[in-house]
Structure formats: C-alpha cells, structure tokens
Amino acid sequence: MTRYIIRRLLYTIPVMLVVSLIVFGILHIAPGDPATMLAGEDARPEDVAAIREKYGLDQPLHVQYGVWLNNVLHGDLGRSIVTRRPVLSEALARLPSTVELAFAALFLAVVAGMIVGVISATRQYSLLDHATMILALLGISAPVFWLGLVLIFFFAVELRWFPTGGSGTIQQLVLPAVTLGAASTAIIARMTRSSMLEVIRQDYIRTARAKGLWEQTVMLRHALKNALIPVVTVIGLQFGYLLAGAVITETVFSRPGLGRLLVASITSRDFPVVQGTLMLLSVSFVLINLLVDILYGYLDPRIRYE
C-alpha cells in the first residue's frame, strides 16, 4: 500500500505540471491587459509600461511561466495585482467558506442519493422507481444558477424561510447546499441504483435470503456494502466537482468563498489570484482521487495493490 501511494503521488507531478501550463496559457491568451486595467483607462502609456515591468508582464510568456512555477514550488503563489496581498493569504481566508459549502452539499448528496438509489433498486420498475429517476434526471439537467434563483424566489423571497445569501449560519447554508448538491444527489442516486441492481442478482444474495435473513439485513449488510465500490468513486469525483462548482453557487448566494474570489479576479484580470486559486482546486481534486483509491482496499478486501 505504501509503495502504491508513493507511486500515485509521483504520478500527480506531471498531471499538475500540465494543469499549471493550461491555466497559465488560457489566462494569458485571453483578451485584456491587467496592467491597463490596474492603471486605469486614462493612464499614460509610460505608467502602463511601468506597471507591466513591475509585475513582470513585459517578459516572454515562457519566462513568466518559469518564474511563476518556481515560486509555486517554493510555496509562493504570488501577490494580487489588485489588493497587493499574498495570493495564499487571500485564498486561505476564503477556503473555509467553500469547504463548508462543499461538505454540506456532499453530505446532502450522499445521504439523499443513497437512500433514493437503494429504494429505487429494491422497487425496480415501480411507480416510485420511475418517479425518483425522473427527479434525478431533472436534478442533473437543471443549471445551478437557475436552480439557485428559483430556490431564492420561493424559499427566501416568497416564504421567507431562509436568507437570500451570506454565510455564517445554518440558515444561510441550506439553500446554497441544496443548489450545489442537487446534481450530485441525482448522479449518486442513479449510480447506487445501478450498482445495487447488479449486486442483488448475485448468488450470495439469494443464499442470504434462503437462510431466512430479514430483507433489510440482506440489503444493508450484504448488498449495499459490495455495491459501494463504484458509488465511492462517484462520491470522490463529485466532491472535487463541488469545490469547483461552488464558483457559480457562491456568486448567486453572495458567499465569501473561493468561487466569488475567482470570479472577481477573472473580471479584474488579476492573474496571480486566478492561477493560485485554480492550482489549489486542482491539487485538492487530485488528492481526493488518491484518497478514494485507498478507500477501495478497505471497502472490498479482494482489492490488493501491487
């Protein structure tokens, strides 16, 4: 297991290099000049040139990339062009709010998705099965920004059960978590149903029933555990997507997280903040996938790492 973990960590190095190159390249080929935006529209050309020289924006792209990558490897994500603060400090200050939202959405998705999936699998082709799968399809199809606005209109404006935005309380977390976790709930429900249907047709399930075990015991202790392998994969991937998907949700609900920071930085062409935030999200995604692979061995003893 230790050798496997080390090997997987080594594999992440080229992955992160490619990610950093893509992030850096896309930002720098996008239209707009951060030096011009920082100096103002009425700034003199020499002032713009001075700002560009100060932040190294006058250097060739490969030189800028090399300097930035070297700083990242030393734990320095640079300084914000707009606020002059270290990017790492900016990101870490917003990270707790984003992680809180992602975990709340994931908890909702796992609990609701697995319950719906198990019920649908045990009542295959019933009216309840068809209804839950239709709802799951709607959950996957509904855009996050649209769903967020609909929930705000009904539950915050009309019914006044929850606030329209902000962070710090449970009430302010409910609507964003439902909005962000809706698609993941649907995906986990469909995957749980599919995996359970495959498992409950196995011989050992029929043997457990023949022994006279309660149906709930057969489903929960025998079928569900073995059906969790593909579901855990989806859950791990969904957590990474939830961290990235918080960008839209935090904007809609005015939450002070990495998502709003990223949107504001893109608007102001604050390259260091955008690059640093995306790299943090990428590293989180890779590490989550590694954790999911390690969990396989604990869920299914038949899995061994060579």
227-249 tens-digit pLDDT: 777 787 788 778 877 877 788 88
Distance CA 87, CA 15 (A): 22
pLDDT of 157 above 60 = yes
Q: Is there a contact between 133 and 193 (Cβ–Cβ < 8 Å)?
A: yes
Distance CA 280, CA 23 (A): 12
Task: Provide the β-strand partners of residue 79.
Answer: 86
What the chain holds in terms of domains, given with CATH numbers, is 2-73 (no CATH), 94-299 (1.10.3720.10)
Structure tokens at 68: 């930035």
CA distances to 52, 103, 121, 232, 266 from 278, in Å = 23, 19, 38, 25, 11
Q: Among 70-84, 104-118, 207-221, which is the least confidently predicted range? A: 207-221
Q: Among 22-26, 60-64, 116-120, 225-229, which is the least confidently predicted range? A: 225-229
Structure tokens at 263: 């949107």
Q: In 10 A of CB 66, how many CB atoms?
A: 12
> What confidence tier does 55 reach under pLDDT thresholds 50, 70, 90?
confident
Within 8 A by CB and 6+ apart from 4, the residues are 305, 306
Q: Is there a contact between 77 and 241 (Cβ–Cβ < 8 Å)?
A: no
Residues across the chain:
306
Q: How large is the average pLDDT for residues 172-189? A: 90
Structure tokens at 149: 């606005």
Q: For residue 220, what pLDDT is reported?
A: 67
Please report, for the chain, how many H helices and E strands are present, in that order.
13, 0
Average pLDDT score, the chain: 80
Of 267, 246, 266, 244, give the one whose Cα is nearest residue 256: 246
DSSP 79: B
Q: Is there a contact between 261 and 87 (Cβ–Cβ < 8 Å)?
A: no
12: enclosing H helix or E strand: helix 2-29
Give the orientation angle of helix 224-252 with respect to helix 87-122, to 10 degrees. Answer: 130
Task: Kindly report the backbone phi and psi dihedral angles of residue 86, in degrees, each rounded to the nearest multiple of 5, phi listed first.
Answer: -60, 140
CA distances to 122, 201, 218 from 115, in Å = 11, 19, 15
Q: How large is the average pLDDT for residues 15-40? A: 76
Structure tokens at 171: 């009430």
pLDDT of 67 above 70 = yes
> What confidence tier does 119 reach under pLDDT thresholds 50, 70, 90?
confident
Structure tokens at 14: 């080229």
pLDDT of 48 above 80 = no
Distance CA 166, CA 11 (A): 39
Q: For residue 38, what pLDDT is reported?
A: 67
Task: Kindly report the backbone phi and psi dihedral angles of residue 159, in degrees, each rounded to the nearest multiple of 5, phi listed first.
Answer: -85, -25
